[in-house]
Copies of this chain bind each other. A is one copy, B any other.
């Protein structure tokens, strides 16, 4: 992975960072790097995520998934950090179509997903640290019933990733299900390089060892200067730009297989840094598609965005067939990927020409090792950003209010939060049908 921050410099962009500011910022990066290294060494909550390339045990994953090796599909039942990593890895490695996730509680899509799967050949990967996540368990109960209805023994097809105790752990023990542990001290959104993120890819035959090796390369690349460490360069520049007004992080991979990766990044960034009135808002997009949707805004709207491009430098290509259409002769014998790369270069330059700050994150190619390095790099960037912003990167206290209110509504607990729902201020505008 490398990171080109040229288009974030003050000579190019507004907001932008002067080289002098970068030098000053680098002292703070060095101090933050020290804290991070100490956090890793002392197995402090959250920092432990950066040790996963060493501590995750691919053999345990291989053993656990062995009974499910005949599966053509893997359905992940989880939500947030218990789903996005798995979807990201499977998607990036080209098996996303066979690795759907149930990460919502929508009755219509739930049944559409189940109906689309060959249940007798589908492994079900249930992920919840606490084992009590309402959405996940509700979905799992429905999946279990659907399997029974289809004459499939769900205990033959289910693998569980959960904490050391809790109802899901108990259930797994009772039915002797293959079970893996969510890593200790690692928040869900930082757990992609663990069973949480790797099980579906492992079942579908991907090289999860290479993903972890790529993560290790990212680990080895951590260094006390943003000028020597791509991950820290990205995190530091993002924070510097945020302080200068780039309150949005428009995240634009130029590869369809990285679509879920953008969602994964959006959770990582928002939930880790969205605190104390700070944190960039991630706006997920996709190149080249969103050139025809968001680029007008990115060029001509407010200068309140960092546009983050992510792209593989090489990709398998296919040639655009020759055509009899004269206006399109220039496309003949061009590769589809060549066209995509030209559009990438043009779009990046078009933002710079409009003085809109942007950063390019590049990997060699989209394979398991480069993916692991990219995922690790973004986690390290996020943790560095949290240090520089001085926020509690690894917690998400603001979501608790809504969880209590919902449980109150469903009659599970008495919660004062629930009363706020009935007290809602209403000003409802309806069509005037009297005319």
Say how far A63's CB is from chain B's closest CB, in angstroms: 26
List CB contacts (< 8 Å) of A320-340 with chain B: 320-321, 323, 325-328, 330-331, 334-340
Contact A274 B298 (CB under 8 A): yes
Contact A106 B336 (CB under 8 A): yes
- Copies of this chain in the oligomer: 2
**Number of chain A residues whose Cβ lies closer than 8 Å to a Cβ of chain B:** 155
Please name all residues of chain B whose beta carbon is closer than 8 Å to the beta carbon of A7 when the two chains form the complex.
424-425
Q: Which of A1-42 contact B (CB under 8 A)?
A: 1-7, 9, 11-12
Q: 0/1 per residue, A201-240, Cβ < 8 Å to B?
A: 0000000000000000100110100111110010000000
Q: For the complex, is A303 an interface residue (Cβ under 8 Å from B)?
A: yes
Q: When chains A and B are docked, how far (Å) is the Cα of A6 from the Cα of B330?
A: 55
A370 to chain B, nearest CB (A): 12
Which chain B residues lie closer than 8 Å to A247 at the CB level? 247-248, 302, 304
Q: A69-77, A118-126, A408-416: which one contacts chain B? A: A408-416
Stretch of A54-62, A176-184, A191-199, A255-263 contacting B (4+ beta carbons < 8 Å): A255-263
Contact with A405, one of B223, B346, B354 (Cβ below 8 angstroms): B346
A44 within 8 A of B: no
A232 to B131, CA, bound (A): 45
Task: State which of B105, B233, B315, B427 has its C-beta within 8 Å of the C-beta of A336.
Answer: B105
Give A305's nearest chain B residue, CB to CB. B281
Give 19 A-B contacts (CB < 8 Å), ordered by A residue.
A6-B424, A79-B288, A80-B293, A94-B108, A104-B289, A104-B340, A106-B336, A107-B317, A108-B316, A111-B318, A167-B328, A266-B293, A274-B301, A277-B303, A331-B410, A346-B402, A346-B404, A348-B421, A353-B417
Known: A282-B283, A339-B410. 15 other contacts (CB 8 A): A6-B424, A9-B425, A103-B289, A107-B337, A138-B320, A138-B331, A141-B331, A220-B435, A271-B296, A274-B296, A274-B297, A346-B418, A349-B421, A350-B405, A353-B420
